[in-house]
């Protein structure tokens, strides 16, 4: 034995004799279970690991025979052999263990043994966990290594443990030069150590490295509430990339806003009740009904000849309603082929039919959700579509063509037609149940020929619009031309009147007032007989019409009608008698 080995042995013997508590602390902190027995197999010591593993109690175990505490059938044979036994498997208290038995030297007393127990299951589990940890570490390394953005991970001491290849290339160093060094020595202007101190994340912060700005995020890594490390990520390697991306996003947002604005313009109401021109009783009554209808969500049916302004009334009802912020979607049922009307109203799923867009299409009903849909020329809707429309009204839900699921919608329906729906119901051309569903509130729009002086009011309003559109200065209509306009039938109503005025503006010369010569022969030829009426006859007809309009506006109240006309009640009675007016 060398002098060094002799000195080490003497030192250990000194600790064993003079500091037994130190030895006990050492043994208690060992992973394996240790049990020491004397020559009579009585237990004289066991460490903390043995107590946990074999369920031994200090107060009741010390001094007892090993056989009283556990089954020693296998152990006894090894102990009695007085030989060293290594890594022998044994089963104790339902545990699969391995045991090492070290016999103590005989010093004049009965020799004892040291039994060292290990849990085979624990070793297997530990090995499995180590394998899993290695796999996880390999996966993490692979992710970090192939990440486009720069990534760095530090431990609780701020030492770099992992760093991506992208980041090292950006820094101009190798991974070997970075790992194991303090992050403050590797990354310029880093705040990773600050995140470690505060435990607070820093997201999207500017950081300047080597004269280049980058956007970095730093996140603490916590376990059981304690910061054990931090991870940093370079979101953009320079500010120019961020600015370029910001500009691209801004451009896309502007483009999207433009499309949204256009869609809103297309699907929005353009008129209100103030845009409906007229002072005649019939039009005032129609406006009054429209105003009341706007305050509800009931379906509305607008009836009137072509060109009377049914669509303007639909716009006005939506504009005056609580849905005015929602979309106003217009559908002309007569203008869309019957085989396409269903997909136009309900939309379709991808691949619903040949020629369908691969992304599908949203229908008008869904576009009108939380708003109003205006179904113009409803009388031209095919019967099979009337059935589907009835279901929409009853169930308040739609199903796309080729779809399998329905979607709830919140819409108000305004329908309009120039046809006699009641007659169509009698002839089987329009569903009776749909007719009554639509005909909740009915508004009759009077034809232009029945609106008296409204013709001139509307003509003057249109004249201003047309003059602006055609860039011509036209200030009015002559009295003679006005007489022709009043006397004409206007089968095309306001639309026809606008046509006539546009023609007149285009052909008139040397004047700013439309004269009779500027009107088409269809108007002037029909007025010849009317123009030769006597002055008194013309005055009497005008007076009679004025009294009738006043009485209608006053709902038959003669006192109120007299006030409208600015005459006495007695005079009103006399004139009613003269003209045989009975209202």
* pLDDT tens per residue across span 220-248: 888 888 888 888 887 655 555 556 666 77
Average pLDDT over the chain, rounded to an integer: 82
Whether 147-240 and 31-124 are alike in CATH topology: the answer is yes
Say what percent of the chain tops pLDDT 90.
22
Residue 406 has pLDDT above 50, yes or no: yes
Higher pLDDT, 316 or 58: 316
Higher pLDDT, 352 or 580: 580
Q: In 443-513, where does DSSP find H-type helix?
A: 454-470, 479-487, 493-507
- pLDDT of 193: 87
Question: What are residue 160's phi and psi, to 5 degrees?
Answer: -70, 125
- pLDDT of 528: 43
- pLDDT of 529: 39
Whether the pTM exceeds 0.75: the reply is no
- pLDDT of 527: 41
Asked whether 200 and 220 are in contact (CB, 8 A), the reply is yes
CATH topology of domain 31-124: Beta-Lactamase (3.30.450)
Q: How confident is the model at residue 572 (pLDDT cuts 50, 70, 90)?
A: confident
Question: What are residue 216's phi and psi, to 5 degrees?
Answer: -125, 150
How far is it, in rounded angstroms, from Cα 562 to Cα 5? 137
Please give the average per-residue pLDDT across 103-132, as a whole number. Answer: 66
- Of the ranges 130-139, 171-180, 190-199, 293-302, which is most confident? 293-302
How far is it, in rounded angstroms, from Cα 447 to Cα 367? 33
Please give the average per-residue pLDDT across 311-335, as a whole number. Answer: 91
| 180 CB burial (10 A radius; 0-12, 13-18, 19+) | exposed
CATH topology of domain 537-578: Arc Repressor Mutant, subunit A (1.10.10)
How far is it, in rounded angstroms, from Cα 241 to Cα 243? 5
Query: For tokens 């508004």, what's the residue?
Result: 443
- pLDDT of 355: 64
Q: What is the CATH number of domain 448-532?
A: 1.10.8.60
Q: Which CATH superfamily is domain 147-240 in?
A: PAS domain (3.30.450.20)
**Strand, helix or coil for residue 451:** coil
How far is it, in rounded angstroms, from Cα 231 to Cα 178? 15
Q: How confident is the model at residue 141 (pLDDT cuts 50, 70, 90)?
A: low
Which of 108-112, 183-187, 216-220, 432-436 shows the lowest per-residue confidence on average (mean pLDDT)?
A: 108-112
- Burial pattern 435-466, b for ≥16 Cβ within 10 A else e, equals bebbbebebebbbbeebbbbbbbbbeebbeeb
Contacts of 281 (CB under 8 A, 6+ apart): 549, 552, 553
Residue 127 has pLDDT above 60, yes or no: no
**Six token digits for residue 322:** 């609580």
Of 20, 24, 42, 46, residue with least CA distance to 33: 46
Q: How many CB atoms lie within 10 A of CB 434?
A: 21
- pLDDT of 530: 45
Q: How confident is the model at residue 431 (pLDDT cuts 50, 70, 90)?
A: very high
Residue 279 has pLDDT above 50, yes or no: yes
Asked whether 293 and 443 are in contact (CB, 8 A), the reply is yes
Residue 319 has pLDDT above 70, yes or no: yes
Please give the average per-residue pLDDT across 82-109, as a whole number. Answer: 78
Question: What are residue 369's phi and psi, to 5 degrees?
Answer: -55, 135
Q: In 34-190, where does DSSP find H-type helix?
A: 48-54, 58-61, 66-69, 73-80, 120-146, 165-171, 175-178, 183-186
Residue ranges per domain, the chain?
A: 31-124, 147-240, 273-444, 448-532, 537-578
Chain segment 512-546, per-residue pLDDT in tens: 889 888 899 888 874 443 445 678 877 888 888 88
Contacts of 217 (CB under 8 A, 6+ apart): 201, 202, 203, 204, 205, 232, 233, 235
Residue 258 has pLDDT above 80, yes or no: no
Asked whether 407 and 363 are in contact (CB, 8 A), the reply is no
Q: How confident is the model at residue 56 (pLDDT cuts 50, 70, 90)?
A: confident
Of 96, 89, 88, 93, residue with least CA distance to 119: 96
Domain 273-444 has CATH 3.40.50.300: yes
How far is it, in rounded angstroms, from Cα 16 to Cα 19? 6
Chain segment 7-42, per-residue pLDDT in tens: 555 655 555 556 666 667 777 777 788 888 888 888
- pLDDT of 122: 54
Residue 176 has pLDDT above 90, yes or no: no
**Six token digits for residue 395:** 């169930």
User: How do strand 226-236 and strand 150-155 relate by DSSP bridges?
Assistant: antiparallel
Contacts of 388 (CB under 8 A, 6+ apart): 342, 345, 346
Asked whether 378 and 416 are in contact (CB, 8 A), the reply is yes
Higher pLDDT, 254 or 70: 70
Say what percent of the chain tops pLDDT 70.
82
């Amino acid at each position: 034995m060398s002098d060094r080995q002799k000195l080490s042995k003497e030192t250990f013997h000194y600790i064993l004799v003079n500091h037994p508590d130190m030895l006990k602390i050492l043994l208690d902190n060992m992973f394996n279970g240790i049990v020491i027995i004397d020559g009579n197999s009585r237990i004289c010591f066991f460490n903390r690991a043995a107590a946990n593993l074999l369920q031994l109690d200090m107060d009741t175990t010390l001094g007892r025979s090993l056989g009283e505490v556990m089954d020693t059938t296998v152990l006894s044979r090894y102990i009695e052999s007085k030989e060293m036994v290594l890594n022998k498997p044994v089963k104790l208290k339902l545990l699969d263990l391995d045991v090492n038995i070290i016999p103590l030297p005989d010093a004049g007393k009965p020799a004892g043994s040291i039994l060292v127990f290990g849990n085979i299951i624990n070793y297997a589990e530990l090995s499995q966990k180590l394998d899993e940890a290695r796999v996880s570490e390999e996966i993490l390394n692979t992710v970090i290594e192939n990440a486009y953005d720069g990534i760095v991970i530090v431990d609780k001491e701020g030492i770099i443990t992992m760093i991506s290849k992208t980041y090292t290339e950006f820094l101009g160093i190798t991974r070997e030069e970075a790992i194991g060094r303090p992050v403050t020595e590797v990354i310029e202007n880093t705040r990773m150590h600050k995140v470690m101190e505060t435990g607070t994340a820093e997201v999207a912060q500017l950081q300047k490295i080597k004269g280049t700005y980058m956007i970095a995020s730093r996140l603490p890594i916590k376990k059981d509430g304690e910061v054990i490390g931090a991870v940093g990520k370079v979101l953009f390697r320079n500010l120019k990339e961020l600015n370029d991306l910001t500009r691209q996003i801004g451009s896309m947002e502007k483009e999207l806003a433009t499309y949204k604005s256009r869609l809103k313009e297309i699907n929005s109401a353009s008129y209100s009740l103030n845009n409906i021109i007229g002072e005649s009783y019939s039009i005032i009554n129609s406006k009054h009904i429209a105003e009341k209808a706007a305050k509800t969500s009931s379906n509305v049916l607008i009836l009137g000849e072509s060109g009377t302004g049914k669509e303007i009334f639909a716009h006005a009802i939506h504009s005056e309603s609580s849905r005015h912020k929602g979309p106003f979607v217009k559908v002309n049922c007569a203008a869309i082929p019957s085989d396409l009307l269903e997909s136009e109203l309900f939309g379709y799923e991808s691949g619903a039919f040949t020629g369908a867009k691969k992304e599908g299409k949203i229908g008008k009903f869904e576009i009108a959700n939380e708003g109003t849909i205006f179904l113009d020329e409803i009388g031209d809707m095919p019967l099979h579509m009337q059935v589907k429309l009835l279901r929409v009204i009853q169930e308040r839900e739609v199903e796309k063509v080729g779809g399998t699921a329905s979607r709830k919608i919140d819409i108000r329906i305004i329908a309009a037609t120039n046809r006699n729906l009641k007659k169509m119901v009698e002839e089987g051309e329009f569903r009776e149940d749909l007719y009554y569903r639509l005909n909740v509130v009915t508004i009759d729009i009077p034809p232009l020929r029945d609106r008296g002086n409204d013709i001139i009011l509307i003509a003057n309003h249109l004249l201003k619009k047309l003059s602006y559109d055609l860039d011509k200065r036209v200030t009015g209509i002559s009295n003679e031309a006005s007489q022709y306009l009043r006397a004409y039938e206007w089968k095309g109503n306001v639309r026809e009147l606008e046509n006539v005025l546009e023609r007149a503006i285009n052909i008139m010369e040397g004047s700013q007032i439309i004269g009779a010569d500027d009107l088409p022969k269809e108007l002037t030829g029909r007025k010849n007989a009317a123009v030769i009426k006597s002055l008194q006859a013309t005055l009497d007809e005008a007076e009679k019409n004025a009294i009738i309009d006043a009485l209608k506006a006053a709902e038959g109240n003669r006192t109120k009608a007299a006030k409208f006309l600015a005459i006495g009640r007695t005079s009103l009675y006399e004139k009613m008698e003269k003209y045989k007016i009975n209202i």
